[in-house]
């Protein structure tokens, strides 16, 4: 290498001497930064100026593999999907930035980040792009992506909080000591302290403060520099700029024997900023996503029974479907499965919201996250990992918590424009005080720093997400699962509630009525035939007389009934009885030489159905009943529940037509239904709910799914929705009011950087504390 050349810091290639200490290309600069642990991705450019002569070094080949997530890509039809965890997310602006960077890539169909669980879900067309190309801009900005592992969530939060706590302790210690010196300097302004003594005090203050600032500003500086390297800004840029400006100005003043040294303000400002961020992190922990709490319920290991009878402990995600696992009493179940052997009680409150344990035996289904209470169970594994019901609930919760509701769009748009506005306002403040008011540039700079700090829109960015997270968590604890991000907003607008009957207002489980029309002998004969049928009424009849042997010669004629020799059980037409349009659910038994016997059935209302209907009417909501059942049955149910407006024999199309008519009349309708015929109506309604007993298509169409045998979740969801809307508007008012009140004061020079730091942190804590009120229950 000649004397007029230098070497690239990364690859050693020759570069002009004037570029000594630099790189031959952006690829080498990025690779070098990554080696140094700065988190930049270099997959977009890994070659020097002469690609043909370039051979990747071993460490560069390791970098190529460092961001290879191909092993974590799953296929979903024609699309590829990947679940990753993002480290370094601070606020809603981070979420918007990551989603925007990925969403603009060719072939990407979906990019969604959950702020509390930090899960990134990306969907794309594998024919158009690949994971490395999709994720490159996220690495460039400075975020770190790792394969999604729930166990990392708590560790990452704990690590960040420890770093903040250590920095806060150092800043507090330095601030306490420098304040002692500052008191002397302040007193010297009103006495005869000489310049030499003042300079000595300033230099001692600098020796205490500057190392502390360099250590304590790191949490803000890392994020700020990563954003600036990518040509962007975030909320940490003005904070870092303000602290460094105050410290740098104070050092310059000290070196030139000036009196405007504010080391105490710089370190105290940083101390209170760290307090605010630490308390914000702890407060978010209280408001942590219900989905994140659910993730913690996944079992750490499961006991697999091998073919030779030996036991082996494995992580749940390594267990294959079809394997046999042993679950001891008191152990949390780590897989979805079917009981192959054993009998026990299982705490299913996570799934059903019911506090009473469920009895399970051979053939019963159990789910990951539930607790085996009383006896050992052998399970045949049906699903593990991301395919379990627990994982599905987590995914739906994340969609509900972090979806793009209208209020979130508003907050994002405002937060997106804050950076240029903040910097322009700070510059205008500085220039206005220096050239307009003739103030010393040092004091004007402090006013500008105060503007930089106080205008950070953390409270605005938190206004909506924190309410969504707490509302979702509260409802989940009551057995209500939100599936749509906008469901709560739409629930708050409801003025009409439309119910289906069977399986919604009623349990959907027919019960035999002891009306005196049959005797024990007739019941036993009828039960023998009913045991061979899967018809709901036949099953109810068989359940009313357990222990009766099934008639092995019984045959079933679809749509009519059962026949065993001369004995028949079924409809009126099947046994030769005249039809009666006013008859309710019934079965008839025909025996030779004996009159036909009628068995009537009732579908019991849910325990609190009448109470809930009355409560809805007291709230001023209109209540309707739309059912596909016959008119006598629907009339009887409506009368029992106090519903005056009802319609019977409704087809799926008729239900949709009625909902459209209500909408045309200006009504906002909540549809509650469970049957296959309710799915179109659920999709057509303004907002919809289904019980967990609903068929899958109805649960898919519904915005909300509720557990248990009660209808109280309808009232609970309406109440939470109303309070959530009120809290969101309060949070917007608090955040905007804070800025409208404090920013003019900062521009006018009435707020010091220290007070600005306290005000900014307090605004975020006030918004979070206000939202936490939603977690407290109150009587209806």
115 vs 157: CA distance, rounded Å:
12
**CB distance 236 to 181 below 8 Å:** no
Q: Considering 347, 500, 629, 719, which one is annotated as catalytic?
A: 500
Tell me whether residue 500 is one of the annotated catalytic residues. Answer: yes
161 vs 533: CA distance, rounded Å:
62
**CB distance 188 to 239 below 8 Å:** no
702 vs 753: CA distance, rounded Å:
50
User: Which tokens is 708 given?
Assistant: 């248990």
Tokens 């979903």 sit at which residue? Answer: 76
547 vs 772: CA distance, rounded Å:
54
Tokens 């709910």 sit at which residue? Answer: 689
**302-305/358-360 β-pairing:** unpaired
Neighbours of 752 (CB within 10 A): 19
Going through 500-652 in order, the beta strands assigned E by DSSP cover 506-512, 555-557, 561-564, 567-570, 586-591, 594-605, 622-626, 645-647
**CB distance 25 to 11 below 8 Å:** no
**CB distance 541 to 506 below 8 Å:** no
User: Which tokens is 218 given?
Assistant: 């790191």
Residue 320, φ and ψ in degrees, nearest 5:
-90, 140
Q: Which of 691, 738, 69 is nearest to 457 (CA)?
A: 738
590 vs 564: CA distance, rounded Å:
11
Distances in Å between the alpha carbon of 43 and those of 61, 148, 370, 468? 11, 21, 43, 37
Q: Which of 687, 742, 303 is nearest to 487 (CA)?
A: 687
584 vs 579: CA distance, rounded Å:
11
Residue 432, φ and ψ in degrees, nearest 5:
-65, -40
Residue 109, φ and ψ in degrees, nearest 5:
-100, -20
Spatial neighbors of 207 by CB under 8 A, at least 6 apart, are none
Residues β-bridged to residue 568 = 563, 590
Work out the end-to-end distance of the chain between its first and last CA atoms, rounded to an integer number of angstroms.
83
DSSP letter at 505 equals I
Residues marked active site are found at 500
């Amino acid at each position: 290498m000649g004397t007029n050349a230098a070497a690239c810091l990364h690859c050693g290639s020759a570069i002009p001497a004037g570029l000594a200490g630099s790189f031959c290309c952006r690829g080498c600069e990025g690779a070098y930064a990554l080696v140094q642990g700065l988190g930049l991705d270099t997959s977009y450019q890994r070659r020097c100026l002469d690609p043909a002569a370039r051979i990747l070094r071993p460490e560069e080949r390791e970098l190529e593999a460092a961001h290879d997530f191909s092993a974590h890509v799953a296929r979903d039809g024609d699309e590829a999907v990947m679940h990753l965890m993002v480290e370094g997310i601070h606020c809603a602006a981070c979420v918007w930035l990551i989603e925007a960077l990925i969403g603009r890539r060719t072939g990407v169909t979906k990019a969604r980040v959950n702020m509390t669980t930090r899960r990134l879900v990306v969907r794309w067309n594998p024919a158009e792009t690949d994971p490395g190309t999709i994720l490159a801009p996220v690495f460039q900005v400075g975020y770190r992506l790792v394969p999604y592992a729930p166990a990392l969530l708590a560790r990452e939060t704990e690590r960040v909080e420890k770093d903040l706590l250590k920095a806060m302790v150092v800043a507090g210690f330095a601030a306490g000591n420098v304040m002692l010196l500052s008191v002397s300097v302040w007193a010297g302004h009103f006495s005869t302290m000489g310049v030499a003594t003042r300079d000595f005090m300033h230099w001692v203050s600098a020796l205490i403060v500057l190392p502390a600032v360099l250590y304590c500003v790191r949490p803000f500086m890392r994020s700020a520099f990563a954003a600036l390297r990518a040509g962007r800004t975030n909320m940490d840029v003005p904070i870092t700029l303000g602290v460094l400006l105050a410290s740098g100005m104070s050092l310059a003043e000290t070196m030139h024997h000036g009196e405007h040294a504010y080391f105490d303000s710089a370190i105290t400002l940083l101390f209170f900023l760290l307090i605010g961020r630490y308390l914000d992190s702890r407060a978010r922990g209280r408001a942590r996503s219900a989905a994140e709490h659910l993730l913690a319920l996944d079992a750490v290991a499961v006991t697999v029974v091998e073919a030779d009878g030996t036991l082996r402990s494995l992580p749940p995600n390594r267990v294959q479907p079809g394997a046999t696992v042993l679950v001891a009493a008191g152990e949390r179940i780590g897989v979805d499965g079917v009981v192959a052997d054993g009998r026990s009680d299982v705490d299913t409150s996570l799934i059903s919201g019911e506090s009473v344990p469920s009895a399970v035996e051979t053939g019963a289904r159990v789910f990951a996250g539930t607790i085996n209470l009383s006896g050992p169970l052998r399970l045949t594994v049906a699903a593990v990992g991301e395919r379990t019901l627990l994982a599905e609930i987590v995914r739906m919760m994340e969609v509900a918590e972090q979806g793009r509701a209208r209020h979130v769009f508003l907050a994002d748009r405002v937060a997106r424009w804050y950076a240029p506005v903040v910097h322009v306002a700070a510059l205008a403040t500085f220039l206005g005080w220096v050239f307009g008011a003739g103030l010393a540039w040092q004091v004007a700079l402090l006013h500008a720093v105060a503007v930089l700090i106080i205008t950070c829109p953390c409270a605005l960015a938190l206004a909506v997400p924190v309410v969504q997270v707490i509302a979702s968590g509260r409802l989940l604890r009551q057995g209500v699962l939100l599936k749509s991000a906008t469901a709560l907003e739409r629930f708050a607008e409801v003025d009409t509630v439309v119910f289906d009957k069977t399986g919604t207002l009623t349990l959907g489980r027919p019960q035999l009525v002891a009306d005196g029309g049959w005797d024990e002998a007739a019941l036993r004969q009828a039960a023998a035939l009913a045991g061979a049928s899967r018809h709901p009424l036949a099953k109810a009849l068989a359940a009313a007389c357990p222990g009766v042997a099934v008639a092995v010669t019984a045959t079933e004629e679809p749509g009519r009934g059962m026949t065993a020799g001369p004995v028949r059980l079924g409809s009126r037409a099947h046994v030769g009885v005249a039809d009666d349009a006013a008859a309710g659910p019934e079965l008839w038994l025909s025996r030779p030489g004996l009159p036909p016997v009628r068995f009537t059935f009732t579908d019991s209302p849910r325990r609190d159905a009448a109470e809930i209907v009355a409560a809805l009417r007291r709230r001023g909501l209109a209540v309707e009943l739309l059912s596909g059942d016959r008119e006598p049955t629907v009339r009887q149910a409506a009368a029992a529940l106090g519903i005056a407006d009802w319609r019977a024999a409704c087809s799926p199309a008729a239900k949709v037509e009625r909902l459209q008519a209500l909408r045309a009349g200006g009504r906002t309708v909540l549809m509650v239904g469970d049957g296959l015929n309710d799915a179109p109506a659920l999709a057509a309604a303004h907002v919809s709910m289904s019980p967990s007993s609903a068929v899958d298509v109805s649960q898919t169409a519904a915005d909300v799914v509720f557990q248990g045998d009660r209808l109280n979740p309808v009232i609970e969801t309406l109440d939470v929705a109303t309070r959530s809307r009120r809290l969101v508007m309060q949070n917007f008012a608090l955040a905007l009011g804070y800025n409208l009140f404090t920013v003019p004061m900062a521009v006018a020079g009435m707020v010091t950087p220290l007070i600005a730091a306290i005000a900014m942190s307090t605004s975020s804590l006030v918004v979070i504390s206000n939202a936490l009120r939603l977690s407290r229950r109150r009587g209806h």
